[in-house]
Amino acid sequence: MTTGLVFAVAGAILFSMGVAGVILLAHLLRRILAFNLMGSGAFLVLVGLAQRAGIADPVPQAMVLTGIVVAVAATALALALARRLHALTGAYTLPEARDD
């Protein structure tokens, strides 16, 4: 087992935890947190799996740098929405949807 594979495996588990968290958790901040775990998991798989032979690969590393910036952009956007909802309703949870 190489360093790359160890962290790819950890990434796969992190991703699954993150998805389950986004689906199951009610508190919006915690769902945002879960989304970040999901992203980190995917990043670890991307770099770890590519480097499973133990040789550094700059291509997925550059992709992850791009991905980290996209993730922080999405996180800030989500937090802006969550804070706005909190300011309007006083809660950090989503109200029931009205879809009729």
Restricted to residues 1-40, the positions that interact with other proteins (CB under 8 A) are 1, 3-10, 12-25, 27-40
Which of 59, 19, 58 is CA-nearest to residue 39?
A: 19
Least distance CB 26 / other proteins (angstroms): 11
Is residue 79 at the binding interface for other proteins, with CB under 8 A as the rule? yes
For residue 98, the Cα-to-chain-centroid distance in whole angstroms is: 28
Least distance CB 69 / other proteins (angstroms): 5
Residues 39 to 68 in contact with other proteins, rule: CB under 8 A: 39-53, 55-68
Q: How big is the site for other proteins, counted in residues (CB under 8 A)? A: 91
Least distance CB 72 / other proteins (angstroms): 5
C-alpha dihedral over 81, 84, 85, 90, to 10 degrees?
A: 150
